[in-house]
Structure 1
């Protein structure tokens, strides 16, 4: 099977729900298929037609960057989703469940999406949780699949929640906790971060991935300064 898609420097393999079209019933059924994936710049969905072995790549829809003022209901929305997640995937819970991202910071400008970091023992042990979450309203995308299982809800085009299944106290886990806590305790850094987000959102409104990437130098700098 050949791979059709934009040129990328890094390519990784991942499991993605693909669309298998049966020639007789013409019924679409979701199955798992190992296919190459161009990381980060394009989140790619794969539609595979088994009748003529013709793979076609479609770009994952990327919701525009829209920032809003802090909503005091966000903590309650996190708690509601936390309880729901413990009910459906609690058997894979390990460590803690954390509200991260800008909606966790009172007063901070944010995309109205609740970011949830769900601790697991390992990515391999928690892999069965992917199917459970997909069957309960989440969409799975293999974004940075080497360090987490990543989901959005209800869809990639319209998002109210991001869910990150991450090994508890892994480097990524600790980094996100450290940055969140820094924003909670340092108003100067929080103001600088909010101003940067506003500037980047205006510049990259239709390019969510670049918006995210352009925040990283600031995050890296302030974390380094805290060491």
Structure 2
């Protein structure tokens, strides 16, 4: 069952608390990293699954050291999972269980990162697209027997519009759609 809930104004504070922990990890390792709140919980007013999506952005040259810093902090490295330039991590049990977290280590400039940032930034700026996206998500979540694959596929039309508004189209959009099909 897919759960989509109303926007919770506590999500930004929850993100900031976790981002501070992540910044401390990278500061201690002597690494420069940006910590980005992405995904639907990063868009004020947008209905979302109650899951914080966090992208930690490092230079490609620092990727190996960044993976080491996260794993040394009890993060479980789950690999790229079919998404080039983006490594998934499972936070340690000491992190809050609610809201849950999807944590990604992204190479600066990677298409996966540009995808996340474009969706966030367009939906923050365009209330009509934000509301259309929310309607689609709610309808899909209310569909009996919907699984994550059908949920992701069902959002692809409106996400294509969002990404086009964010300057991602053509071969890059096709690559994102292919990754989404493969990682469901």
CA RMSD of aligned residues (A): 2.8
From the two aligned structures, give the one with the greater strand fraction. Answer: 1
Asked if the contact 1:201/1:211 (under 8 Å) is kept, the reply is yes
Counterpart CA distance in 1 for 2:3 and 2:115 is 25
Counterpart CA distance in 2 for 1:217 and 1:209 is 14
1:208 positional shift: 2.1
Counterpart CA distance in 1 for 2:100 and 2:114 is 24
Counterpart CA distance in 2 for 1:197 and 1:218 is 10
What's the TM-score, normalizing by structure 1? Answer: 0.61
Q: Could you tell which deviates more after superposition, 146-155 or 161-170? A: 146-155
Counterpart CA distance in 1 for 2:142 and 2:129 is 20
Q: Determine which of 161, 165, 170 is the counterpart of 2:101.
A: 161
Matched, 1:179 2:116: no
Q: Cα deviations across residues 174-205 of structure 1 (Å, max 9, x unaligned)?
A: 23212211111111000000011111212376
Counterpart CA distance in 1 for 2:126 and 2:89 is 30
Q: Cα deviations across residues 11-30 of structure 1 (Å, max 9, x unaligned)?
A: xxxxxxxxxxxxxxxxxxxx
Task: Give 5+ residue unaligned stretches, structure 2.
Answer: 168-184
1:104 positional shift: 0.6
Going from structure 1 to structure 2, the CA distance change for 1:151 and 1:158 (only over 3 Å counts) comes to farther
Matched, 1:216 2:156: yes
| Structure 2 equivalent of residue 106 of structure 1 | 44
From the two aligned structures, give the one with the greater helix fraction. Answer: 2
Asked if the contact 1:93/1:121 (under 8 Å) is kept, the reply is no
| Structure 2 equivalent of residue 75 of structure 1 | 12
Going from structure 1 to structure 2, the CA distance change for 1:168 and 1:74 (only over 3 Å counts) comes to same
Matched pairs, number? 162
Going from structure 1 to structure 2, the CA distance change for 1:131 and 1:145 (only over 3 Å counts) comes to farther
What's the TM-score, normalizing by structure 2? Answer: 0.73
1:113 positional shift: 1.0
Query: After the TM superposition, which residues 1-227 of structure 1 pair with which residues of structure 2 at under 5 Å, given as runs?
Result: 64-90=1-27, 91=29, 93-94=31-32, 96-122=34-60, 125-134=62-71, 136-142=73-79, 143-153=81-91, 160-203=100-143, 207-225=147-165, 227=167
Counterpart CA distance in 2 for 1:66 and 1:205 is 12
Q: Could you tell which deviates more after superposition, 163-172 or 109-118? A: 163-172
SS at match of 1:109: coil
Counterpart CA distance in 2 for 1:213 and 1:154 is 30
Larger Rg: 1
Q: Could you tell which deviates more after superposition, 125-134 or 170-179? A: 125-134
